[in-house]
């Protein structure tokens, strides 16, 4: 197994354990892992009721975390022209995720955002692997929306 440091909602104090499981083909690696977890739970049952632990299994390689990090980067990091940046700034759009979660029709409604600026924004978003109005898993969408709200409330407090 390997242990890697990961970033969770701007907190670097988390680690991810990556298990590499090789079998002889009689059972799948997932089944072997599930069987080992069941054996571990049986052994650890002496702690039952003492600790309230929520265990979840994900078939994920951290891609969602990387996606969220990209979505939470500030629009100033996109290298937009001054006109495009200023339109978004006046509309109080602070992070890439806000643009990605918006529909194109919503972007068109931003005051003074012309056709060229809209095309520039769409192009820059596509360069980092997203598109306007892109669909995400409910977990990613919820996490990004929550973090956007926090960022906006932090900026209004300053």
Per the confidence metrics, is the pTM higher than 0.75? Answer: no
Q: Are residues 104 and 27 in the same domain?
A: no
Q: Domain range for residue 40?
A: 2-57
Q: Please report, for the domain that includes residue 90, its CATH number.
A: 1.10.150.20
For the chain, the domain total comes to: 2
Q: What is the pLDDT of residue 61?
A: 42
Q: Are residues 49 and 90 in the same domain?
A: no
For residue 117, count other CB atoms closer than 10 A to its CB. 20
Q: Are residues 10 and 33 in the same domain?
A: yes
The pLDDT tens digits along the chain (158 residues) read 889 988 888 888 889 888 888 888 888 888 888 888 888 888 877 766 555 555 544 444 455 677 888 888 889 989 999 999 999 999 999 899 999 999 999 999 999 899 999 999 999 999 998 998 888 888 888 888 888 888 878 766 65
Q: Classify residue 144 by burial, with Cβ atoms within 10 Å: 0-12, 13-18, 19+.
A: buried
Of 33, 57, 81, the domain-final residue: 57
Q: Are 113 and 87 in contact (CB under 8 A)?
A: yes
Q: Are residues 31 and 75 in the same domain?
A: no
Q: Are residues 20 and 44 in the same domain?
A: yes
Q: Are residues 87 and 53 in the same domain?
A: no
d(CA 73, CA 78): 9
Q: Are residues 153 and 92 in the same domain?
A: yes
């Amino acid at each position: 197994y390997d242990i890697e440091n990961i970033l969770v909602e701007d907190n670097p104090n988390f680690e991810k354990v990556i298990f590499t499981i090789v079998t002889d083909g009689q059972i799948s690696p997932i089944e072997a892992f599930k069987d080992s977890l069941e054996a571990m739970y049986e052994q650890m049952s002496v702690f039952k009721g003492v600790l309230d632990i929520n265990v979840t299994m994900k078939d994920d390689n951290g891609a969602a975390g990387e996606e969220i990090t990209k979505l939470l980067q500030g629009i100033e990091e996109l290298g937009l022209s001054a006109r495009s940046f200023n339109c978004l700034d006046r509309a109080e759009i602070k992070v890439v995720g806000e643009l990605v979660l918006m529909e194109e029709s919503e972007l068109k409604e931003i005051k003074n955002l012309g056709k060229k600026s809209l095309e520039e924004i769409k192009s820059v978003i596509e360069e980092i692997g997203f598109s306007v109005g892109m669909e995400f898993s409910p977990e990613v969408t919820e996490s990004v929306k929550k973090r956007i709200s926090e960022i906006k409330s932090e900026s209004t407090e300053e």
